[in-house]
Amino acid sequence: KKLGIALVGLGRYSTNQLAPALQETKNCYLAGIVTGSPSKAEAWKKKYDIPEKNIYNYENFDKIAENQDIDIVYVVLPISMHAEFTIRAAKAKKHVICEKPMAINEEEAQRMVDACNANGVQLAIGYRLHFEPFNKRVMELGQNEVFGKVQSIEAINTSDMTGGSLDVWRLDKERAGGGPLMDLGIYCVQGAIYTMGKPPVAVTAQFGEVTHPAYFREVEQSISWKMEFEEGVIADCKTSYADENGKSTLEGQAENGWWRLDPAYVYEGKKGQTSKGKMDLPNIYEQVRQMDGQAESFRNNEKSIVPGEMGVRDMKILMAIYESAKNRGERIEIQY
Ligand code: NAD
């Protein structure tokens, strides 16, 4: 049976990536929507042939518990709303996929995991790169020590938000929890960890200069940080919302070779190189693979390869990075 997914929040990611991907998935399909906008509900209903009974708003959402068509709730809202809707979905006994970053802090993320466990449902995070060939190759190169032990890592993920509207939730601390570290830097944190196959033992961090004060009143414009792994391996990372030459790279240097993805995190057009030559891998529709993979694990009642606990771990690291940056680069050790 194909599992029915309800998307919660019909913004850009749902509209441009997830809904089209759900037209190609084999293990799941777009069964319902949850939106605060009656006009979006009407448009999506027509476009995707969604029955009226599978359309909810944020108020009547809890009634989804009674809907047999919906097996999975996929939370695609501003970050501060992830916890509320994940917990409400869990109480409705639906499996949950929650977008990254999981929440605005570690405590919230842990409550989400606890709610899913208490209600006997699975929770997975929208970490699509775990289902994607180039990033999977990096996991293999790093974790299997194909070129010997990893010696250093560099990960950069930047974009430019300074041409757009000031009124976006990503610039609002309350709704975003933080700036580019939360939204883009998470990819660098993930990239370094899946290169090493283990999380860092300590971090240090510095906020960058604010050159666009109109935009960055509440959240950081940029931040650079180092993640320190056992045996002293360092991952050098950077993210920014004001880099007109947006970068998306993940590099590893090992004893007998190196690799580099550029771009590493964007949806399409990934490229990779190693000291032995070009990575000959396909670009795939990664949201299709991600949702099919997650739906399959839910169907088998198995933990996803990107479970809620991984999201909690990452929140712990993001919070440690902020703590270090606020304390002028103090080294923050992390216990798991
Ligand atoms: P968006 O701003 O385009 O969409 C957000 C949606 O939430 C909108 O439909 C908006 O109407 C709705 N919303 C409900 N209450 C709101 C409120 N109080 N303030 C603002 N919007 C409100 O954002 P997006 O780019 O679609 O991002 C949504 C989530 O998806 C975020 O967690 C983001 O990090 C994640 N995302 C993940 C990827 C990925 O590759 N995995 C890519 C893009 C976004």
325 in a structural domain: no
Q: How far is the CA of 258 from the centre of ligand 1 (A)?
A: 36
Q: Is residue 313 part of a domain?
A: no
ipTM comes to: 0.99
> Is residue 322 a part of any domain in this protein?
no
Asked whether residue 237 is domain-assigned, the answer is yes
Quote the pLDDT of residue 167. Answer: 85
Average pLDDT score over residue span 222-241 = 98
Least confident of 3-7, 86-90, 164-168, 304-308: 164-168
Q: What integer pLDDT is reported at residue 10 of this predicted model? A: 98
| Ligand 1 atom, smallest distance to 79 CA | 32
pLDDT of residue 95: 98
Region 124-143 average pLDDT? 98
Decide if 319 is inside a domain: no
**Centre of ligand 1 from the C-alpha of residue 220, in Å:** 19
The tens digit of pLDDT for each residue in 148-201 reads 999 999 999 999 999 999 889 999 999 999 999 999 999 999 999 999 999 999
Let me know whether 102 and 145 are in one domain.
no
Q: Are residues 189 and 294 in the same domain?
A: no
* Residue 69, in any domain of the structure: yes
The number of folded domains in the chain is 2
Measured in Å, residue 16 CA sits from the centre of ligand 1 at 12
pLDDT confidence band for 108 (50 / 70 / 90): very high
Domain assignment present for residue 256? The answer is: yes
273 and 144 fall within a common domain:
yes
Pocket test for ligand 1, best of 57, 75, 76 (most atoms within 8 A of CB): 76
Active-site hit among 74, 127, 187, 265? 187
Q: Which atom of ligand 1 is nearest to the CA of 267?
A: 40
**Does 154 share its domain with 12?**
no
Asked if residue 163 and residue 255 are part of one domain, the reply reads yes
Ligand 1 pocket list (CB less than 6 A): 9-14, 36, 76-79, 99-100, 126, 128, 169, 175, 183
Nearest atom within ligand 1 for CA of residue 183: 34
Read off the pTM. Answer: 0.98
Summarised one tens digit per residue, pLDDT across range 270-288 is: 999 999 999 999 999 999 9
Same domain, 100 and 162: no
235 and 215 in contact (C-beta within 8 Å)? no
Please say if 100 is a catalytic residue. yes
Among 169, 187, 294, which is best to mutate for testing ligand 1, by the most ligand atoms less than 8 A from CB? 169
127 is catalytic: no
Q: Which structural domain range is residue 187 located in?
A: 133-283
Q: Whose CA is nearest to atom 10 of ligand 1?
A: 11
Look over the chain and give the mean of its residue pLDDT values, rounded to a whole number: 98
Residue nearest to atom 4 of ligand 1 (CA): 11
Percent of the chain residues past pLDDT 90, beyond the cut: 99
